[in-house]
Structure 1
Amino acid sequence: MKKLVTLFAAFTIFSSSSFAQQALSGGSDLTSPEIKADRTVTFRLKAPGAKEVKLSGDWMPAQGWTPGTELMAKDKDGVWSLTSTPITSDLHSYSFLVDGLRITDPNNVYLIRDVASVTNVFIVPGGKADLYTVNAVPHGTVSRRWYSSPGNNLTRRITIYTPPGYESSKQDYPVLYLLHGMGGDEEAWAALGRATQILDNLIAQGKAKPMIVVMPNGNVAQEAAPGESTEGLYKPTMQLPHTMDGTMEQTFPDILKFIESNYRTAKGKENRAIAGLSMGGYHSLHISRFYPNTFAWVGLFSPAVMASDKVSSPVYANFDESLKKQSANGYKLYWIGIGKTDFLYKAVSDYRSKLDQIGMKYTYRESEGGHSWTNWRDYLSEFLPMLFK
């Protein structure tokens, strides 16, 4: 009996070890995606029982908000493949549709969550995406800190980038507050925006000043990104309580106080910048206006502009008067970027007309495309070198 127990234990250990080794091995030798020197990319998926497999990628002509698709071809071994035409240098996302079911690529471990969707990503080098790559340059430090937000009655998480050499220096640094869009959180700019890689590379090239970059969670109802709070593992949603109702703007001083009490920050509005995309552009517009002598550098990336008629908050009262006050107090840069096909294009155009009427100077950047991370990474890459000069 003792021998049987010993044999069973040995078999269990062997089986568990073999299973672990199989899991570690990955179980497939397919390469997908395979990025080639001519910027064509080959995608592969083994699905012998599938009747139809399509590839869907963000570089394909979109159908509304949904990226286009292309049919893949099946070989005798049940492997479906497709080689693209040359793809632009960028961080790209994609997925497969297997008999209508959208899935991720099992041969690509690189995935990013955007709200409640998870997609595979890859980088095509040889152009602007070289800024999004980890290169052999000095690196900053990225930390997730928790801070007290009395205005929201919460302890909240925030992402903070400190530049290379921060820990060993005694220097005070300027600060950029970088805000995400609706559905995002304190992880969005670091993950989807590649903000930390862009910063490392631009600072190393001498194109951007070393700076602290603060990436808060603009959803004031959340402690932190989904899965990172006491709420546990829940399905993320797009619209949350107190979204764009003035609460983010009113409680923003909690963030300022935490940063300026815990980091070596250079004082004065000339050493503070604020920028954001979409909802974050909306917050940047209204925070910089509501506290008109706080930021000398403002960046609005595809911004939403005006609050809903259903919203009542002191933040949105006396809009024109506070904007004129912001203009009169002076600033170094007021930067606006928007894509030609962005659904917010007209709202931004109307807002520019308002700025023109009151004589408030701004720098305007109009790009191809619409409401996309491709544009927002471009805008950040262009905005950073202008700051704190």
Structure 2
Amino acid sequence: MKLKISITTILVLILGLNIYAQQALFGGQNIVSPEINSDNSVTFRFNAPNADTVKITGDFLPPEKIKTQWGIFDGPGKALLKKDANGIWSFTSQPLESDLYSYSFIVDGVTNTDPNNVYMIRDVASITDVFIVGGGKGDLYNVQDVPHGSVTRRWYDSPGNDMKRRVTIYTPPGYEESKDKYPVLYLLHGMGGDEEAWIALGRTSQILDNLIAQGKAEPMIVVMTNGNVAQKAAPGESPKGLYKPNMQLPHTMDGKFEETFTDVIKFVEKSYRVQANKEGRAIAGLSMGGYHSLHISRYHPNTFDYVGLFSAAIMPNDGVKSKVYENFDETLKAQMDNGYKLYWIGIGKTDFLYQTNTDYRAKLDGMGMKYTYVETEGGHVWTNWRIYLSEFVPLLFK
């Protein structure tokens, strides 16, 4: 039996597939959310005609204090949405400063992403939608019409941890065509993060592309490691498979990462055209990564000319047995005596680590160790860490 299909049938099938594709793209909703208004206020919308309450939570709202086992944090604020006759809930913010912001909806107590916003970022085990308000520092986080670098994920051998490990590496525009040797910034994440944190949440490639294009930063390679030496790679990127990320992993702050960090340096200096000397190396990190940067730079005291501590988790490690933390004052003095070009410290005024950073600066003052200090508004948040990266990078390799 011959199958006969009319032209009309084919057209109907094509039209149906096209409609389905459009529904998949827009989540079946013809709603704009978020909508950035002319005064930089932002309107959010959520279709939930049967919901009793819809709230929005995000870092653009006045912060709420959250008590955790690590201290008191500035958490994202909350606001109520209003429902119209069509069951569309909406909320319009105050005019916002230029920045990158994250948010989620809470529908009858259940957290939801925005079905009308496809731009999302993972932070540890939380997924939030993001948007950027331009006209200021937010422009630095946007993709601009400038030459772009490359971002690759590489696997390197770590004999000190007896495993292959994954690292994210940014190479600047023109690296592939050039024969030049480039300086390297080793950029470390905080607790719960991994080798994806800085490139996604920190907007590292956009910041570097834009600063280099503006002539404010030297072309450099940026190496974003995984500071959890118990992991081969970020969740879902290793043979361990798909699993829920968590904040606390073995060997995160016990000296193992600091001790074996030379495995990363050896891989980079073997695999890339780099300036393999102290003058061509910088290290910086946020929170736990700041802790790691502090200890790596003093444990290997003649390795880095540039050190950046972003909201560094400077805390006692008296109960940890590791040769890395022995002779702290002596190794810090050796680092100072060996010479360096920049020791940079940044902290938010309401950061729960503010006092420990103040105490550490007093120690540096007492021993005559010079540093640059930057104090910002806000607490232990990515808004600050993107600022710190944007201000730290132009000071490097001059």
Give TM class, smaller chain. Answer: over 0.9
> Which residue of the partner structure matches residue 397 of structure 2?
388
User: Superposed, which structure 2 residues align to 1:186-225 within 5 Å?
Assistant: 186-225=195-234
Q: How does 1:300-379 map to 2 (within 5 A)?
A: 300-379=309-388
Q: CA RMSD in A?
A: 2.1
Counterpart amino acid of 1:35?
I
Residue 7 of structure 2: aligned partner: none
Structure 1 letter corresponding to 2:153: R
Q: Which residue of 2 aligns with 1:232?
A: 241
Farther off after superposition, 96-105 or 316-325: 96-105
Q: For 2:26 and 2:99, how far apart are their aligned partners in 1?
A: 30
> What residue in structure 2 maps to residue 40 of structure 1?
41
For the pair 1:278 / 2:287, whether they are aligned, the reply is yes
Aligned pair partner of 1:130 in 134, 139, 152: 139
Question: TM-score normalised to the size of structure 1?
Answer: 0.95
- Structure 1 window deviating more from structure 2 (59-68 vs 329-338): it is 59-68
Asked if structure 1 preserves the Cα contact closer than 8 Å seen for 2:346 and 2:388, the reply is yes
CA contact (8 A) 2:194 2:234 kept: yes
The separation in 1 between residues aligned to 2:316 and 2:245, in whole angstroms, is: 24
1:92-111, Cα deviation, whole Å (9 max, x unpaired): 00011111111111100111
CA contact (8 A) 2:170 2:205 kept: yes
State the Cα deviation string for residues 253-300 of structure 1 (Å, max 9, x = none): 100000000000012101100000000000000000000000000000
Can you give the 5+ residue segments of structure 1 that lack an aligned partner in the other structure? 5-9
- CA distance in structure 2 between the partners assigned to 1:70 and 1:360 by the alignment: 46
Q: AA paired with 1:34?
A: E
Give the whole-Å Cα distance in 1 for the aligned partners of 2:310 and 2:371: 13
1:307 Cα offset (Å): 4.3
Aligned to 1:149: 158
User: What does residue 291 of structure 1 align with?
Assistant: 300
Cα distance change on mapping 1:43 and 1:199 into 2, 3 Å: same
Alignment of 1:70-109 (within 5 A): 70-109=79-118
Partner of 1:177: 186
Counterpart of 1:31 in structure 2 is 32
- Could you tell me which residue of structure 2 aligns to residue 7 of structure 1? none
2-structure distance, mates of 1:32, 1:244: 41
Deviation at 1:18? Answer: 6.6
Among candidates 246, 253, 265, match of residue 262 of structure 2? 253
| 8 Å Cα contact 1:307/1:316 also seen in 2 | no
From the superposition, tell whether residues 372 and 22 of structure 1 become closer, same or farther in structure 2 (CA, over 3 Å). closer
Query: 1:310, CA displacement in angstroms?
Result: 2.2
Please tell me whether the aligned partners of residues 178 and 274 of structure 1 are also in contact (alpha carbons under 8 angstroms).
yes
Q: TM-score, normalised by structure 2?
A: 0.93
Contact 2:22 2:28 in 1 (8 A): no
Q: Is residue 51 from structure 1 mapped to residue 52 from structure 2 by the alignment? A: yes
Residue correspondences, number: 387
How far apart, CA to CA, are the structure 2 residues paired with 1:148 and 1:226?
Answer: 19
1:79 alignment partner AA: I
Segment of structure 1 superposing worse, 53-62 or 156-165: 53-62
Unaligned runs of 5+ in 2: 5-9, 67-74
AA aligned opposite 2:124: V
- Residue type at the aligned position of 1:131: L
Q: Is the 8 A contact 2:27 2:115 kept in 1?
A: no
> Can you list the C-alpha shifts for 1:14-70, whole angstroms capped at 9, x where unaligned?
888875564245311100000112101000000000011111110212221331111
**1:308 Cα deviation (Å)?**
2.8
**Aligned-partner Cα distance in 2 for 1:275–1:374:** 16
AA matched with 2:43: T
Matched, 1:116 2:125: yes
2:187/2:225 contact within 8 Å kept: yes
Whole-Å separation in 2 of the counterparts to 1:24 and 1:68: 30
Query: Per-residue deviation at 1:243?
Result: 1.2
Give the aligned partner of residue 69 of structure 2. Answer: none
Deviation at 1:198, TM superposition (A): 0.4
Q: Contact 1:245/1:307 (CA < 8 Å) preserved in 2?
A: no
- Deviation larger for 259-268 or 22-31: 22-31
